[in-house]
A = this chain, B = another copy of it.
Amino acid sequence: MEKSSSKNIAIFISGRGSNFKSILDHINEINGEIKIVISNKNALGLNYAKEKNIQTLISNDFEKISSIMEELNIDLIVLAGYLKILPKNFVKKFFGKIINIHPSLIPSFCGKNFYGEKVHEAAINRGVRYSGCTTHFVSDVVDGGPIILQKTVEVSQNDTPKTLAEKILIEEHKIIVESVKLFCDDLLTIKGERVIIK
């Protein structure tokens, strides 16, 4: 099998960027390179990018962001704890090239009302015995795109939103890396609402 060409990756973050760090920690196993880290605000994770001499940008101007994606020949955009909803035309333009990670077993506890700790609060209040995390391609339905990978996490009766978030984050770090790897090796195909892994 022909080796796929190395991919140019952009990472979008809004917080401390732990999923971004996880990708960076495993970059040697990934057939790609992080070209830029973009945030909608002065996010803590940007510092880490700067330390690693990765270009950073704070912007909410999606025409500008779109131009930069093209200038840098970005193949893959990873939303790694990015809490802003992307404009529809941006999503349309880059469909199949944007991966998001969400801390629940989609289709449970997802959509625009479930962000940050609210997801875990909802899971605990509903009394589910399992939650987890999901990577998916971004479509114009919030958290509604084709699912790449999922991982389940047991919810214990003593869990708080905080402890559940911590347990799930450990699994997020694994599936985000694995999803980026699969993408960069050209092993993901979108078929309708499903993702087929070759």
Contacts and interface: CB of A to CB of B under 8 A. Distances in A.
Given A125-B194, A193-B125, A130 B105 contact: yes
Contacts of A157: 196-197
A17 interface: no
A129 interface: yes
Interface string A106-137: 11110000000000000011111110100000
A147 B132 contact: no
A96 interface: no
Contacts of A124: 194
A35 to B, nearest CB: 29
Give this chain's copy count: 2
Interface string A136-179: 00000000001101101000010000000000000000000000
A128 B124 CA distance: 21
Contacts of A197: 157
Contact of A152 (B107, B149, B152, B194): B152
Given A157-B197, A196-B157, A197-B157, A129 B108 contact: no
A182 interface: no
A193 B106 contact: no
Per CB-CB distance, the 9 closest pairs between chain A and chain B, nearest first, are A127-B194, A129-B150, A127-B147, A152-B152, A108-B108, A107-B108, A130-B150, A130-B152, A127-B193
Given A125-B194, A126-B193, 11 more contacts: A105-B108, A105-B130, A107-B108, A108-B108, A124-B194, A127-B146, A127-B195, A129-B147, A129-B149, A130-B132, A130-B152
8 contacts: A105-B130, A108-B108, A125-B194, A126-B147, A127-B193, A130-B152, A157-B196, A157-B197
